[in-house]
Structure 1
Amino acid sequence: MVQQDGQAALPEASDVGLTSAQAAQRLAAGLGNDVPVRASRTVGQIIRANVFTRINAMVAVLFGVIAVIGPVQDGLFALVIVINTLVGIVQELRAKKTLDSLAIINAARPRVVRDGVAVEVRPQEVVLDDVIELGSGDQAVVDGVVVSASGLEVDESLLTGEADPVLKQPGDPILSGSFVVAGSGRFRATRVGRDAYAARITEEASRFSLVRSELRSGVDRILRFITWLLFPIGGLLLYSQLFLDAHVTAEVSAGGTISGPFADALRGTVAALVSMVPEGLVLLISIAFAVGVIRLGRRRCLVQELPAIEGLARVDVVCTDKTGTLTEAGMRLAEVRPLDAAADADALTEVLAALAAADPHPNPSMAAIRDSCGTPPDWPVAAVRPFSSARRWSGASFTTPQGKQHWVLGAPEVLADADSPAVAAAARTAAQGLRVLLLGRADAAVDGPHQVIPMALVVLEQRVRPDSAPTLDYFARQDVAVKVVSGDNAASVAAVAHTLGLPGADQPVDARDLAPQDADFAEKVEKATVFGRVSPEQKRSMVAALQQHGHTVAMTGDGVNDVLALKEADIGVAMGSGSPAARSVAQIVLLDDRFATLPHVVAEGRRVIGNIERVANLFLTKTVYSMTMATVVSLLAVAYPFFPRHATLINAVTFGIPSFFLALAPTTERARPGFVARTLRLAVPAGLVSGLAAMTTYFLVLDGADTPTLADRTAVLITLCATTLWVLLLVARPYVWWKAVLVAAMVGLLLAALLTPVGQAFFALDMSDPAAVGTALAVAGVAAAIITVIRVVDARWLSRERDTRDS
């Protein structure tokens, strides 16, 4: 009996697995693998994250001031925050629903032995003492001890950093997070849940998270800077509005509304502070990401980390495997071609059937052989050497009626001498785009030293995916380089790439001639397009070399041989039918196995990043012009020209409403580094010019008076709206019909507020002074011209810098 702390004794487990009753007892006793599934934030976390923010707290305080002094129109800015927050919550809940449903599909399904039969269960259903089966590409979900092994080789690099596979024998430990690169076996779970070695790492890595990215860190830096400026500017403004005028007094109307200079000073302070806060920027980033997740989810694409969307927008090199990506995963045995005319083709086919039967977890090549070679002979297996990507061959020793026989199957270049006729014949066949393996007879057991005599070429047909060529063409148009990195024969890979029209396919590189330690390794990887006979370690080194050359690299793959490169790449993209190990380390999983989905993922990333940059330009322009106006007002000790309701109207028609539409617009421009610098280069000058233009109009129409009239305030509002709408037009490029409609609609809303009696009464506007309106429009025209000149000069300067850098 097994005695657990605080638990009743449980029946002893055996190495042949648990019964269903024993498993249920352990699960009830809390001995299950209670590590959370990959999931988004909980509903409560989503609501708290959207409601209890620093910006919402600031707005709530400002609304509290307006709630005391009134009127209600001046508190409209709080309603905007409420709507924005609700929209954010709804979008993130939609994204959560999409992610959770896709995560369930993508979750690993370990095979445990229950009642003597191997069955698939959820990782959370594994219990202490369960016996778990492992095959090539499987990842251990708990810690345990090996109870049986057949050439079981385990890669623990994701845990220890050591890349060399470890041969496991009965009694050896298995760590959660490690994955099988060759062979098969069973192990008994000794530590489950949070007791397992990699449980904490796995839980954090498996959780859908908003980890740091250039975009988010850039926005955070901007917001911190704004916060630091907000307090001194806001304090100075408050002091100037309330205390510099000794005659500021408050009056309370019959309806309870506080009026008089004191109330106007408070309202002006609130209006300035509300405009300084970029209240919608963080929200719109979250919405843009959430909508991106939902759109990709509809294409059966699981985004396991949000910054993966951003990363794909920056990708300029895509490294892809051939089998299962450019070609369909399934293969067909086309021919068994004896190398000796005297050899019996039927006998060789019988050997192939025996080799396939000796492999409990065949790879796609061996599966095709198994499906084509019929019933295997009843030959006892004396020794076995399972396939691994590093060795590139597998084999088995049999006891046959004719005696001991030792057979191997793998890459011709590995099993035979480079100058042998077999290798030459294999190369000619591979050049036709076929996959060619060599069947050889060994002179000794395959699990020890031996020599190989080539016996036959095994030719496999692969079907090119019909959507591969359009996908490669899309990347070419988008200036994204595609490199095919495959473990197959270089000539075979080149033939497939050539049929797809991939540039550089006529000059394939055999990776056996490449060494990561060579001085020119990175340059060769940079120049070539097609690589064959690439080992898992070389794939990782190639990705690292491209990154060292300044590239943002996406790696696609589906096999255990791709895991190291997927982990090394900026963005790892795994196929849904790929190995559990590959899916677990990838940031993006294409659940429908369609390489053609990748362009949509890239386009979605570009849409998100490009539009967030546009939105950031708008909101930061608003912050800069508000700070500029507040500073001028404070230094000159004049009344602030706006009430909060004016600020609400300006923010809504110039930035607030348009930003929601711009944040979801399509764009194809590749994202580039330098988000903060690019954003500030437009926002700071545009904000300064807009703020100074507004204050210029203010002083012109005020004409020495101590207190602005509603007509004066309206004139300043017109100048600021006209100028910032022009900034909106500059940011909204390239122009399409719906953007023109959007800007026209905002102009219409502004005119409705300015010209209708209801709008004038609600927003406290007065258009009765034609001279003030004319002054406002004239100043706005000059300001728009200045902003345009700054924009054009800056664009030319950036273009010149980019040309210099590229040359």
Structure 2
Amino acid sequence: MSAPRGRVERPGPAGPETPASNELPGLSSAQVAARVREGRTNAYRVRTSRSVIAILRANVFTVFNAILATALVLVLLVGRWPDALFGFVMVLNTATGTLAEVRSKRALDRLAVLQAPTACAVRDGRDIEIDVADIVLDDVLRLRSGDQVPADATVVRADGLEVDESILTGESVPVRPRAGERVMSGTTVIAGTALVRAMAVGADAYANRLASEARRYSVVTSELQAGTDRVLQWISWVIVPVALLLFWSQMRGTAISAAAVPAGQWRAALVASIAGVVSMVPQGLVLLTSVNFATASLTLARRRVLVQELPAVEVLARVDTLCLDKTGTLTTGRIALSEVLADDGDGALIDATAALREPLLALTAVADPNATAEAILEGLTEGSATPGADASGPLPGAQDVASRVSGAIAFSSRRKWSAAVLDHQTWIMGAPEIVLAQAQAGPGLLAHAQRLTATGVRVLAVVSAPQPCARGTDDEPCLPATRRAAGLVVLAEQIRSDAARTLAYFRSQGVDVKIISGDNPTTVAAVAAGAAITSPDGGGPVALDARELPAEATDPATLDALAGALEGAQVLGRVTPEQKRSFVRALRSRGRTVAMTGDGVNDSLALKDADLGIAMGNGAPATRAVARMVLLGGEFSALPAVVAEGRRVMANTERIASLFLSKTVYASLIAVIVAVSAISYPFLPRQLTIVSSLTIGIPAFVLALAPNSRRYRPGFLRRVLTLCVPAGLVAGAATLTARQWLAHGSADQGQVTTGATLVLVVSGLWLLTLTARPLLGWRLGLIVLMGGTAVLGVLIAPVRSFFLLAWPAPATWLVVAVCGGAAAAGIEAVRLVRAACRPADEGECGRWARGG
């Protein structure tokens, strides 16, 4: 291992301890072969994203596709292809969702680089490099600083071993396993070396068991999709009887379709009945919802936010509770030098950075560094590098001090201190309760250290001695008998620079933020306070020790009690992975929409159960695989942009949903009246397609992409139905009135169809004005363009012929003017009544519904 930047390889007379020479021989080749035959290897397939089959299943097998696919097959079998234009909507909807999610899958697969590609195994008495998958049960593995532990193992021999288990437990403080203790797969060695024996490999390893549990398939809960699916379910209950009734009614007389399809009356009747039921399906709403989600995912991809499932964009706009994992999410996962303090002689602490800089540089410029020494060195030398300096060599200042160091003792978890001899003076740094014991001026400084530790920071003590460290009978270094307390080194976790600003944003949006960690609650509370998290009354964050809460909560009573305990807390410490999952479930049981962020395997279960799981791009592959959303840059500040996109999707989809569901209402009314009265159905599928395109599809596509920052409010479907149901009934009644007026006036079938089509266009365009108001600029131009296109469709002979329309006679124009005007007046009356009943309804939504 090469020396880190700023560090000098300098063994001294009292240098680091050396491992014993009698190494374990490890497994023999024959023993390894036997275990491979038995399947006891570390081979394990890691799923890094949703499979293509899972993506296809979610996008293809929907109620929407089932209805339209059945209708499409029947039309192609008995009708003409122009009447099957609605099939393109089905294909586009499926392709849009599938391609966007496959694109995200491929990006995530490229991101999933195996973090521990090889391991060092002792076999036949020799060290060999092998693939992680080739490890077998009982293999002896050599671990060094920077290695990821490839399998659950028992420590056989350790030398200054420190392991970061935060990816599994959430605790940022390194552990120091001794011989006989276990180290878990997925954790990282940050200092020292060790020989370990593999005790659980492959699917039996703890990290893989967690990942397997998290991989159980679940679907994003989307209010937009749920509302649309509910309408589709309502339609599916009546669509078959309505279709049969329509078919029967069209067989009783001469259907308008029969003139266009001379293959037989039953074929014409079938096409007419399909036109009736297809028009009942809000197919454009499903397509535009997918397009809206896909557009948002592409926008977020440019901001290095990967959306694995499209509805996840909407969910964050609905989130009211955000659970954050501290390590790697709120913090960078590293510690930083905060202060260097000393006693001023009167019981107060003063800054001692300048006075203790050289001793601290000497203490941290040793051969085998740990994370603590790296943090101190970085803090002391930050900004001291000069332009053009060799980045691979010692930093200025550190090099000068290192040349004066005559001996050094590396930190040991057994001793809990390190030492260096600088200019014939011995300096020692370590745990305050050890190095300050029996030191001159030690009790006073120890009291300060204990007070600081209670605030959640990590404190080390520095002492000096005139003589070097002696060696004991076991050749272990000992503290000098005469020591004098010199100062305290205060270390704190690095809070992400964007954390406070991002949390302030969520607080302003009414989102309740909770910090969940495996660390000490006091430590977590201190970090939370540093990120400007406060209690509702503006005071410091309220912290709970999860050890006082249930380990698991499955029954409703326990979940409710746990949710009550969580309500008043902003910080939860000493949380196990299973408890994180229970916390999410408890909050959701109270009707909360919960988002959970994390980067470790320990977060994967909670991410899976949350309404929205968000993983950091530098997190564990298993965590990224189960998350709905991945922050590729690991930047917490990207979340507000995700919220903005979610709000645009929610607000605009609600804005245009009234158009599509009004069509469902008027199509259902027309279908039922036609079926009951046995009159001819006034439209072919192609005519309904052009009506839908000009009054709903094209305008809605434009409106869906417009900017919109309205905050989310629950009740999407209820608000939409209060407008679209009465407006759709008015449009359907006006269309049927025009059809009957023209039919009883002895108009031919072409005039009846054309008149009914134009009345429906007028009704749809007037409903469009409600969602496009205020009618200024591009909004007014959009409505004029759609109306003009409808007129051109009647004026231009080839287009008119394709859609089987006729040039309106004067009597037809009169009917269109009267019925169309009545429809516009009726829809406007619906808007006024709705506004009067709820004058302050829902803020902006109420304003656009009232035309403001």
TM score, norm. by length of structure 1? 0.71
User: Could you tell me which amino acid in structure 2 is paired with residue 77 of structure 1?
Assistant: F
CA shift digits 1:528-567 (9 cap, x unpaired): 88x6x95557996998887677654545566899889878
- Specify the alignment match of 2:634 in structure 1: 593
Shift, 1:99, TM fit: 3.7
**CA contact under 8 A between 1:536 and 1:565: conserved in structure 2?**
no
Question: How far apart, CA to CA, are the structure 2 residues paired with 1:730 and 1:480?
Answer: 32
Q: Deviations over 1:602-621 (max 9, x none)?
A: 12222333344445444333
Please give the secondary structure, in 2, of the residue aligned with 1:33.
coil
Task: Quote the Cα distance in structure 2 between the aligned partners of 1:17 and 1:670.
Answer: 63
Question: Deviation at 1:753?
Answer: 1.4
Aligned twin of 1:113 = 120
Question: Deviation string for 1:164-206 (max 9, x for gaps)?
Answer: 9999766667776899999996755566555667757625735
Distance 1:349-1:110 versus aligned 2 partners, 3 A rule: same
What is aligned with 2:292? Answer: 288
Among 59, 71, 75, the alignment partner of 2:84 is 75
Report whether the alignment pairs 1:730 with 2:770: yes
Alpha-carbon spacing, 1:576–1:616, altered in 2? closer, same or farther (3 Å)? same
Q: Specify the structure having the higher radius of gyration (Cα).
A: 2
Partner of 1:437: 459
Gaps of 5+ in 2: 1-22, 347-351, 383-397, 434-442, 464-475, 477-483, 551-559, 847-852
> Are 2:801 and 1:761 equivalent residues in the alignment?
yes
In structure 1, distance between residues paired with 2:790 and 2:257: 32
Q: Is the CA contact 2:166–2:600 (under 8 Å) kept in the aligned structure 1?
A: no
Structure 1: distance between partners of 2:232 and 2:766: 24
> SS in structure 2 opposite 1:276?
coil
Counterparts of 2:813 and 2:200, CA distance in 1: 81
| Residue in 2 that maps onto 1:701 | 742
Check if 1:227 corresponds to 2:204: no
**1:456 and 2:487 aligned:** yes
Name 1:416's counterpart in structure 2. Answer: none
Shift of 1:26: 6.8
**1:347-377 alpha-carbon deviations (Å, 9 max, x no partner):** 97389639x9787565985674798887695
The answer to whether 1:379 aligns with 2:409 is yes
Q: Which residue of 2 aligns with 1:104?
A: 112
1:274 to partner: Cα distance: 1.6
The match for 1:714 among 749, 754, 763 is: 754
Report the equivalent of 2:342: 338
Which of 697, 709, 718 matches 1:656? 697
* CA displacement at 1:463 relative to structure 2: 8.3
1:663-695: CA deviation from partner (whole Å, max 9, x where unpaired): 444432333444443443444333333323322
1:787 correspondence with 2:837: no
* Cα distance, 1:728 vs structure 2: 3.4
8 Å CA contact 2:624–2:630 kept in 1: the answer is yes
Determine if the alignment matches structure 1 residue 33 to structure 2 residue 55: no
Residues 350 and 128 (structure 1), Cα distance of their counterparts in 2 relative to 1, 3 Å cut: same
Kept after mapping to 2: 8 A contact 1:383/1:398: no
Partner of 2:481: none
State the 1:599 CA deviation. 1.0
1: distance between equivalents of 2:67 and 2:569?
Answer: 55
Counterpart of 2:231 in structure 1: which amino acid? I
Query: What are the equivalent positions in structure 2 for 1:563-712 lying under 5 Å apart?
Result: 571-577=612-618, 587-614=628-655, 616-703=657-744, 709-712=749-752
Which stretch of the first structure deviates more once superposed, 293-302 or 63-72? 63-72
CA–CA distance in structure 1, aligned partners of residues 374 and 609 of structure 2: 25
User: Which sections of structure 1, spanning at least 5 residues, go unmatched?
Assistant: 1-12, 386-394, 411-418, 446-452
CA distance in 1, matches of 2:102, 2:625: 24
String of CA shifts for 1:234-260, please: whole Å, max 9, x gaps.
121112111x34x7899899xxx5267
Q: How far apart are the structure 2 equivalents of 1:491 and 1:87?
A: 46
Partner of 2:304: 300
**Residue 315 (structure 1) aligns with:** 319
State which of 353, 356, 362 in structure 1 corresponds to 2:364: 353
Stretch deviating more after TM superposition (631-640 or 591-600): 591-600
1:448 aligned residue: none
User: How many Å apart are 1:720 and its aligned residue?
Assistant: 2.0
Residue 311 to residue 82, structure 1, CA distance change in 2 (3 Å): closer
Show the 5 A alignment for 1:236-315: 236-242=245-251, 244-245=252-253, 257-258=261-262, 262-303=266-307, 306=310, 308-315=312-319
Could you tell me which residue of structure 2 aligns to residue 750 of structure 1?
790
* Aligned partners of 1:621 and 1:684 also within 8 Å: yes
Aligned partners of 1:397 and 1:405 also within 8 Å: yes
Deviation for aligned residue 1:35 = 1.4
Is the 8 Å Cα contact of residues 35 and 199 (structure 1) preserved in structure 2?
Answer: no
Contact persistence 1:154–1:168 (CA under 8 A)? no
Q: Is the 8 A contact 1:148 1:169 kept in 2?
A: yes
Cα offset for 1:427?
7.6
Amino acid in the other structure paired with 1:497: A
1:523 CA drift (Å): 9.2
Q: Aligned partners of 1:471, 1:683: CA distance in 2, in Å?
A: 38
Q: CA deviation at 1:336?
A: 3.0
1:408: which partner in 2? 431
Do the aligned partners of residues 174 and 328 (structure 1) sit closer, same or farther apart at CA in structure 2, a change above 3 Å counting?
A: closer
Deviations 1:28-60 (A, max 9, x none): x99563414312432x66567656665445444
Q: CA RMSD in A?
A: 6.0
CA distance in 2, matches of 1:86, 1:382: 59
Larger RCO (CA under 8 A, 6+ residues apart) = 2
> Could you list the per-position Cα deviations for residues 245-304 of structure 1 after superposition, in whole angstroms to 9, with x for gaps in the alignment?
4x7899899xxx526755543332121022123334444444433443333222222345
**Cα distance in 2, alignment partners of residues 139 and 735 from structure 1:** 62
How far apart are residue 641 of structure 1 and its match? 1.0
Deviation per CA, 1:619-672: give whole Å up to 9, x if none.
Answer: 333222211111111111111111121111122222333444444444323334
CA shift at 1:429, angstroms? 13
CA distance in 1, matches of 2:243, 2:677: 15
Instruction: Select 1:774's aligned residue among 806, 813, 817.
Output: 817
Distance 1:89 1:36, change over 3 A: same
- In 2, distance between residues paired with 1:733 and 1:329? 50
For residue 539 of structure 2, what is the amino acid of its counterpart?
A: Q
Please give the residue correspondences for 1:133-282 in structure 2 after superposition, counting only pairs within 5 Å.
147=156, 150=161, 193=202, 199=208, 202-203=211-212, 205=214, 210-242=219-251, 244-245=252-253, 257-258=261-262, 262-282=266-286
Partner deviation per Cα, 1:443-464 (whole Å, 9 max, x = no partner): xx9xxxxxxx986321458988
Q: CA deviation at 1:230?
A: 0.8
SS in 2 for 1:747: helix
Q: 1:406 to 1:213 in 2, by over 3 A?
A: same
Pair 744,423 (structure 1): closer, same or farther in 2 beyond 3 Å: farther
Q: Is the 8 A contact 1:557 1:573 kept in 2?
A: yes
| Aligned partner of residue 680 in structure 2, secondary structure | coil
Query: How many Å apart are 1:82 and its aligned residue?
Result: 4.0
Taking a change above 3 Å as real, the CA distance of residues 264 and 468 of structure 1, as seen in their structure-2 partners, is: same
CA contact (8 A) 2:734 2:820 kept: no
Letter in 2 for 1:241: Q
SS in 2 for 1:379: strand
Judge conservation of contact 1:645–1:763 (CA < 8 Å) in 2: yes
